Chain A
Amino acid sequence: MTVTAASATSSSRHEPSPAVGALVNERLVLWYFVASLTYLFVAMLAGLLFSFQFLQSYPFTGIELLSPGRWRMVHTNGVAYGFIANAFLGALHWAVPRLTLRPVLGVKLSWFIFVAWQAVVVATVVGLLTGHAQAVEWGETPIFVDPLALAGLVLVAINFLPPIFQTTGPMYVTLWYFISAFVWTILVYAMGNYIPQFFVGGAASGAIIGLFIHDLVGLFVTPLGWGLMYYFVPIILKKPILSHGLSLVGFWGLAFFYPLNGIHHFLYSPIPMFLQYGAVIATIAVELVVTTVILNFFGTLRGRGDALRTVMPIRWFYVGMVFYFTTCLQCAFQVTLTFQRIIHFTDWVVGHSHLVMFGVFGFWILGMMNHLLPRLLRAEGWYRPSWNSWHFWLTGIGMLVMFFDLVIAGLIQGFQWRDLAPWEASIRASTPFWFLRTLTGIAIIAGQMMFLYNILMTAIHRRAVPAPSVPRTTPAEGLPVTA
């Protein structure tokens, strides 16, 4: 029927053929996931620590290397470059060889990239804590780390594009997203870290920083995330994606409108007003495009709603998609200048960004790990599936409550500021919300600890299964794609 069906579910065999399995460097995928979870914990603890400052209960007051401001930057950069980037790279090592039936360019190159990327993240954390942050939001990676990160991103593209470009015939939607993401991430990182620092200052640099902030989410995290959803959902549900046409609309709509959004991060700033209007309109256009993608995926789920209860990865994926629709709908409203008057600079935006980065992409990553980790650990299944249920509910409820908590706090802050209440009044009014925010953070961390413990127990208690052969460098032709 559609090309999507052919590549996703054509095989009636459910066991991976050894040859296809050999294309994937499963050890590397596991290492990436371990790295990702490590940074998740560091970043979450950084966030929790930072949240105590808001309650006047910071345990390490006055110690320079434990200064809350610096740890805030460790939190955001640890999430973006440590947790999300590592998880996506691991998932790419799983998905690209399977989709293209070809290995990535080089095994040694792949391991080099892994080590280099960890060096980038560790150097970033150390650099931030020792006072070398760069004044670019979400790009605080120190200036001396940027060339290494950029080189790493170029190597990633060099590693993954060859198998994709060698495929013949119709290209599955996931690969459109992947190709673009590899190009975009390099351009976006270079733009954001170099131009506002060395070449363009003032309000114009604000425009570029706005582009960077949004492109990081929209042209790096989003395409990789959705690409992986287009890959995993049909395979797990054993159903093709509903509509190829909607996939086209979704991809090209994102590609065109998303990059034009950036200035919406600095509305009512001295950036020229006509560009701000343009950014608002482009943002609302993206929401319409996003709706088509959501319809596509929920249409795919139709008839398989039971999977939300029984298949954990699907639950993570689809709850994440609901949050994705929520954040984009919220975005379409909050981007209007009317809303911006009140909510800009408040905790409303912090709630939004947490729901996006963690509620959407974090959830998708946790879903992929749920699906892949037993296989990567050569275990028959999870040690205690019920712990994964605890993981889901603690995380899900924690995230949802955090979101509403911060959104409401933001409204209160914004209205108090507009009404010229003394600044201290808005701090007092925010304190109960900040307290609840800390509690939700604890709940989320507790959920991740259950997941981590489950992973450890699964690894310890697995039975030895012979490993597949080392990935070959010659392509394996004519093999059906299976999970």
Chain B
Amino acid sequence: MFETKSGVFLIAGVGFFALAFLVMGLLPWTIYLDQPEKTVEQLAAEGITHEFVDLAERFPGPFQEHFPGGVTLASFAEALRLGRQVYVAEACWHCHSQQVRPVSNEDLRWGPVSHAREYQNELQRPVLFGTRRVGPDLIREGARRSNDWHLAHFYKPTSVVPTSVMPEYKWFFDANGYPNKKGMAIVTYVQWLGSWLPEYPYFQGEGPSGPTTDEPKPVAVAQGQGGV
């Protein structure tokens, strides 16, 4: 059995792989079955971030060009989707994590420790826990800095963080230096991270830390059609 072709093929090749997949892969999935995956539209319905509205106010022409309907649930959802797509394509997840661990004082630095329910949505399929932290964790990044800061940072990181080793993303901007659709989307996405918490943003040394509560965040202000 241990040296036969069928033994090796069936027990080792198929059997042990299946065992590990069931125990280590399928079992975690069943544990989260009571929290169905939210679609991006559902995430958008939880509240359009102030930062998305701010982009529309700051760059009315380009915003209207890229999101013709103005600030709506649909355009916000579209921006989040595209933003995540850009985040994946540019390998942001290879230098930035999206996971606050309960150790190493991470909750003091970034805010509430990550909970599984925060990842039960379309924008975390596949999940973006991250590979490495060359730059800081981003799961609580939303609203910590202004849109201006993020735009300057994407265009030339060393202009706002002189020691930064982040690359320059000039193709997020059009010829006039305004953010194009990708630029607006990635800023929207990053500014959305952590906005689902009851209280945000968290700044190191201030504000609450500790486990999140189950209460849904109050619906944000700007949900109307068009600009504010």
Contact = CB atoms under 8 A, between A and B. Distances in A.
Interface string A418-452: 11100110011000001000000000000000000
A202 B121 contact: yes
Count chain A CB atoms within 10 A of each CB in B127, B158, B164 and give the residue with the most: B127
Interface in B121-152: 121-122, 124-136
Contacts of B104: 341-342, 414, 417-418
Count chain B CB atoms within 10 A of each CB in A54, A191, A259 and give the residue with the most: A259
Given A202-B124, A427-B165, 7 more contacts: A165-B5, A196-B125, A210-B24, A248-B3, A260-B19, A341-B104, A419-B105
Interface of B: 2-5, 8-9, 11-14, 16-17, 19-21, 23-25, 27-29, 31-32, 37, 86, 88-95, 97, 99, 101-106, 108-109, 114-116, 118-122, 124-136, 158, 161, 163-165, 167-171, 204
Contacts of A134: 88, 126
Of all A-B residue pairs in the complex, the 6 with the closest CB atoms, nearest first, are: A201-B125, A259-B20, A183-B13, A69-B91, A255-B12, A202-B119
B204 A420 contact: yes
Contacts of B121: 201-202
B13 A179 contact: yes
Nearest to B88: A135
B91 A255 contact: no
Contact of B116 (A70, A270, A420): A270
Contacts of B115: 270
A26 to B, nearest CB: 27
Contacts, number: 228
Given A179-B8, A346-B133, A420-B105, A197 B125 contact: yes
Task: Give the size category of A's interface with B.
Answer: 35 or more
A203 B131 contact: no
Nearest to A182: B13
Contacts of B24: 207, 210-211, 259-260, 262-263, 275, 278-279
Contacts of B204: 420
A64 B204 CA distance: 34
A423 B157 CA distance: 14
Interface in A245-290: 248, 251-252, 255-256, 259-260, 262-263, 266, 268-272, 275, 278-279
Contacts of A417: 104-106, 109, 133
29 contacts: A61-B167, A70-B90, A72-B94, A131-B86, A133-B88, A134-B88, A176-B12, A180-B8, A187-B17, A201-B37, A201-B120, A202-B124, A203-B116, A206-B119, A209-B127, A260-B24, A262-B20, A270-B99, A270-B115, A270-B118, A271-B28, A279-B24, A340-B103, A345-B132, A346-B132, A350-B132, A418-B104, A423-B136, A434-B165
Interface in A217-239: 219
Contacts of B86: 131
Nearest to B86: A131
A23 B135 CA distance: 53
Given A202-B32, A344-B101, A179 B20 contact: no
Contacts of A176: 3, 8, 12
Contacts of B16: 255-256, 259
A390 interface: no
A70 B170 CA distance: 14
Given A200-B29, A255-B12, A427-B165, A62 B170 contact: yes
Contacts of A202: 32, 37, 116, 119-121, 124-125, 127
A28 interface: no
Contact of A67 (B93, B161, B167): B167
B131 A137 contact: yes
Contacts of A165: 5
B119 A201 contact: yes
B91 A72 contact: yes
A135 B21 contact: no
Given A209-B127, A252-B2, A268-B103, A204 B165 contact: no
A345 B137 CA distance: 10
A191 B18 CA distance: 11
B91 A133 contact: yes
Interface in A114-135: 131-135
Nearest to B15: A255
A333 interface: no
Contacts of A420: 105, 108-109, 204
Contacts of B9: 179-180, 183
A450 B116 CA distance: 51
B28 A164 contact: no
A137 B9 CA distance: 28
Nearest to A266: B129
A359 interface: no
Given A62-B168, A201-B120, A131 B90 contact: yes
Contacts of A183: 9, 13-14, 17
B28 A207 contact: yes
